[in-house]
Amino acid sequence: MPEQRSALDPLWRTVVGAVLRDERHRQGRTLQHVADAAGVSVPYLSEVERGRKEASSEILAAVAGALELRLVDLLGRAHALLAGAFRTLDLTAGPVGRVGPAAAPHLPSNDYRASVTLLAA
C-alpha cells in the first residue's frame, strides 16, 4: 500500500479532478451531461473528479472539451493549485468561498475544492 501523501504533495489526479469538478459545478452541469458530451461513463467521470482514477490524456482532453476548457487552461488551473495559489482547499466539504482576484487573477474560476490542504509558499 502506498504511503499517505502529504498535504503539500497532493496527487496530480486529485488536483486535476478538483479543477474538473469545480468547472462543472460552476457551469451548473450534471455529471450525466458532461459525461455524455465527453463520451465517458458517469461512474468513470465521478471517479476522475474525486481523484480516484488516473485519466489518460485523451480522456482529460475530452472532458475538458465537454466543459469548453482548453487543455492548457485545465493544466494551468491545476498548476496554480499545486503552486500554492490558494491557502486551503477542501473538496470534501464543498465550496470554501471565493478567493479574491488579487490572489489568483489569472484564473477564470476561483471556487476551488480539493481533498488536500495547500499552503501558500
Reported as a single tens digit per residue, the pLDDT across 48-62 is 999 999 999 999 999
Q: Distance of CA 120 to CAs 82, 94, 103, Å?
A: 10, 20, 10
* Domain-located, residue 65: yes
Query: Cβ–Cβ contacts within 10 Å for residue 120, how many?
Result: 10
In terms of residue numbers, what domain contains 44?
A: 12-82
Domains: count for the chain: 1
To the question of pTM greater than 0.85 for the whole model, the response is no
Instruction: Single out the residue of 94, 101, 95, 116 nearest to residue 15, CA to CA.
Output: 116
Q: Distance of CA 86 to CAs 1, 47, 83, Å?
A: 30, 24, 8
| CATH number of the domain encompassing residue 49 | 1.10.260.40
* Domain-located, residue 41: yes
SS (H, E, C) 6-43: CCCCCCHHHHHHHHHHHHHHHCCCCHHHHHHHHCCCHH
Q: Give the pLDDT confidence of 62-95 residue by residue, as tens digits.
A: 999 999 999 999 999 999 988 875 544 544 444 3
Write out the three cell numbers for 61: 482532453
* Domain-located, residue 36: yes
* Domain-located, residue 95: no
